[in-house]
Amino acid sequence: MGEGKSDMTVFKDRALHFLSDDTGAGTVTALFFFTAAMALGGLALDGANGYRERAQLQTVTDAVSLAAAAHLDDTAAGRALAADVAERNLGPDFRDLIRDEDIVYGTWDAGSRTFTPSTEEPNAVVVSANRRESRGTGVGTHILSLVGIDYWDVSVSSFAAQAGEEQVLEPYCGGATILTSGDLRLNGGNTFEGRVCLHGEQGIFDGGSNYYGDGVVLSSPYEDDIVINGNPTRVENARAKIMPRSLTPSVVPTLPGRHRALMDTLMHMDGLTYSGDLLPAEFQGATVQVIDDASATLLRDESNWAIKAEPNMIYVTRGDVRLDSQLDFHGSAVIAGGTIQTSGNSSVKNAFLFADGRMQLAGGARWGAYSDFCDTGKFNLHLLSNEEVHFGGADVAYGVLVAAPSVNINGAFQASGGLYVEADEARTNMGGNGYITDECETPLDSEIVEVRKPLGAAANTNPQTRTILVN
């Protein structure tokens, strides 16, 4: 056989080498750990998304249950109002999530804490909402779909019952909505009363000594991001409702395109009358005046160096505009390609101001129509900017819509209803010692932009029947 190894020996050596060879073992191990890490990462990502969707669905279901409970003496009317609120918040396909059979009226025994379905003199209602794969509405996953989990099933319910006079929760924000995609900073000493919604998508920070009355709602996607008086989520005897939900700006994203459309239309209409849908209806028939100066001032009186402000006018310029002090700017509009600045002690109502640059509003001004700001159901003043709206302080507002990427409100700000503020940057500040309450029965609307109505518009039509959410 010579000096070489025997065939049996060679076979044995090769078998032992194969069994002991670890080439590629690291690849197999890495693949295992990579798959495990991806599954864990997917669980975190898709789990957070599922939690956020659940929080949003819970918020809507709470509003729907309050709407249904607003007509305990007429369940057909209650179901119709509940459907209206659901459609406002979920869109025309809301019945895929909340079906008619998901709204159940009945009687609630507070002593035994039992609910019995019944249509005979109901005093409570339970509403369920479902996002399920079987209904074609499951919450889709991203990473977990790679390991065979394509959907989360999410179900929530809300129970609203008749309550005493001291336990009233209003189901909509007729007083004010302040909404930002960043965090909302509230300095100390502010008072919020009535149907007021305060939302920070990245959180709310309370600087201390703020007062939140019944009907006030503070919201953010995660309750722990709402810090009141330095304490997460809640403080003893806090009267405001803390609500987890996600809200994003609806007006600010539309502003650049709207401003371009206005400039393109109006810059060629000097001396002509306006007709169109880019401005509120009261500006139909207003006269357009194109200002060629790089910087212009609107005055209350005649001047050889400035422009006298007149009612029923639309002033448009590619430059900057300043409204002089003690000016009553009523019934007109300013669209500026630069900045808009106001001086102190002005009165601006039934007006429309839109700057491509910064809007600097001096303090001590009155914004909006005080006497009838609720009557029309519409905002009587729009303050819009593609950069920033900055209030100087000690301002008073009635029926005003404010929207800009950045909004800053200095101290002693007062609003008695019909206020809508929307911002889209990292931080929105409200100074201290302000007072915001409500006088309007329903939230105001805009004819030209779509504003958020966080809790729908379900009003209680029976003054003897008050409803609350029951946990």
Question: φ, ψ for residue 213 (rounded to 5)?
Answer: -85, 180
- How many C-beta atoms surround the C-beta of residue 89 within 10 A? 21
Residue 461 CA: distances (Å) to CA of 43, 72, 112, 209, 241: 45, 10, 29, 34, 22
Q: pLDDT tens for residues 301-356?
A: 777 778 999 999 999 999 999 999 888 999 999 999 999 999 878 899 999 999 99
Per-residue model confidence (pLDDT) at position 7: 57
Listed in sequence order, the residues at least 6 apart from 62 whose beta carbon sits closer than 8 Å to its beta carbon are: 158, 160, 243, 455, 469
- Nearest one of 153, 66, 122 to 454, comparing CA atoms: 66
pLDDT at position 421 over 70: yes
Give the whole-angstrom CA distance, residue 455 versus residue 241.
12
Strands (E), 201-238: 203-206, 211-212, 217-220, 226-228, 231-232
pLDDT at position 86 over 80: yes
Residue 109 CA: distances (Å) to CA of 81, 226, 305, 344, 468: 25, 33, 75, 58, 14
Per-residue model confidence (pLDDT) at position 388: 97
| SS3 at position 360 | strand
Query: In a 10 Å sphere around its CB, with 0-12 CB exposed, 13-18 middle and 19+ buried, how is residue 232 labelled?
Result: exposed
Per-residue model confidence (pLDDT) at position 240: 64
Per-residue model confidence (pLDDT) at position 41: 57
DSSP state of 31: H
Per-residue model confidence (pLDDT) at position 247: 81
Question: φ, ψ for residue 424 (rounded to 5)?
Answer: -140, 35
| SS3 at position 54 | helix
Query: In a 10 Å sphere around its CB, with 0-12 CB exposed, 13-18 middle and 19+ buried, how is residue 389 labelled?
Result: buried
> How high is the mean pLDDT of the chain?
80
Confidence of residue 183 (pLDDT cuts 50, 70, 90): very high
- Nearest one of 150, 128, 123 to 139, comparing CA atoms: 150
Residue 112 CA: distances (Å) to CA of 107, 115, 118, 119, 158: 12, 9, 17, 20, 18
Confidence of residue 44 (pLDDT cuts 50, 70, 90): low
Give the whole-angstrom CA distance, residue 421 versus residue 259.
18
Per-residue model confidence (pLDDT) at position 221: 80
Confidence of residue 230 (pLDDT cuts 50, 70, 90): low
Q: Which two tokens stand for residue 81?
A: 């109002």
Q: What sign for the dihedral angle of Cα 286, 322, 249, 62?
A: negative
Q: Which residues sit opposite 232 in a β-bridge?
A: 227
Using a cut of 0.75, tell me whether the model's pTM lies above it. Answer: no
Q: pLDDT tens for residues 431-468?
A: 888 999 887 777 888 999 988 877 532 333 333 333 44
